[in-house]
């Protein structure tokens, strides 16, 4: 298991560690996070991250050990239109050469900040994530969901718009998981303790 490998399994070319293919410095991906796409998972940056223009400066930050299903879309802030103006028509985008109005009006467009996905998050296929959303560590997003609000750690959500299905663990167990931060361990320590990490017994994790 090597974070520098493009494909974690050479027999499965539909899964790649996407931090090895990202070129945009405003997209930050943690080690071992993969994108699953039957056609070409290496296209994550161009196919999944929408309206990500450098003029806005917003970042897409995804933690370690995340599982991202096919056709997940991250809508970034440049997709927003100004609801307070007389028109919602994006003259600023259409008239890029008209610098007189471009800089002024770009600053007036809604900007919800960076989109931040925690560690060990599973995002089901065809999910749509809106700008500025924060998804906590260990969360699960059901397939075909619209995520327009923050998701708490270790919470399962699904739907359009999303609704909470349940917590994956009780509050005490979630505290242990968030404080242990197993995803920050050296990969060798992770592999040595897979029997515990792959079990439901959080109490054993707290003893390591």
Q: Which residues are catalytic?
A: 81
Helix ranges, 29-145 (H):
44-48, 91-94, 99-106
Q: Measured on CA atoms in the order 11, 123, 157, 50, is the torsion positive or negative?
A: negative
For 78-108, b where at least 16 C-beta lie within 10 A, e where not — what string?
bbbebeeeeeeeeebbeeeeeeeebeebbee
Tokens of 25: 């410095």
Of 193, 162, 56, 153, the C-alpha closest to 114 is 56
Under a CB-based contact definition with an 8 Å cutoff, are residues 120 and 184 in contact? no
Under a CB-based contact definition with an 8 Å cutoff, are residues 77 and 58 in contact? yes
């Amino acid at each position: 298991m090597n974070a520098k490998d493009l494909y974690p399994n050479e027999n499965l070319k539909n899964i790649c560690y996407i931090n090895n293919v990202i070129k945009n410095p405003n997209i930050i991906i943690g080690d071992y996070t993969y994108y699953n796409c039957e056609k070409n998972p290496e296209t994550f940056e161009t196919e999944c991250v929408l309206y990500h223009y450098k003029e806005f400066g917003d970042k897409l930050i995804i933690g370690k050990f995340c599982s991202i299903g096919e056709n997940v879309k991250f809508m970034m802030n440049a997709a927003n239109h100004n609801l307070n103006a007389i028109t919602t028509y994006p003259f600023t985008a259409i008239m890029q050469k008209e610098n007189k109005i471009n800089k002024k009006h770009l600053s007036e467009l809604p900007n919800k900040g960076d989109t931040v996905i925690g560690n060990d998050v599973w995002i089901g296929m065809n999910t749509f994530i809106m700008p500025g959303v924060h998804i906590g560590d260990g969360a699960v997003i059901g397939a075909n969901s619209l995520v327009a609000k923050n998701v708490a750690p270790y919470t399962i959500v699904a739907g359009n718009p999303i609704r909470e299905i349940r917590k994956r663990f009780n509050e005490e167990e979630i505290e242990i998981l968030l404080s242990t931060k197993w995803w920050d361990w050296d990969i060798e320590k992770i592999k040595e303790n897979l029997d515990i990490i792959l079990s439901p017994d959080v109490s054993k994790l707290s003893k390591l």
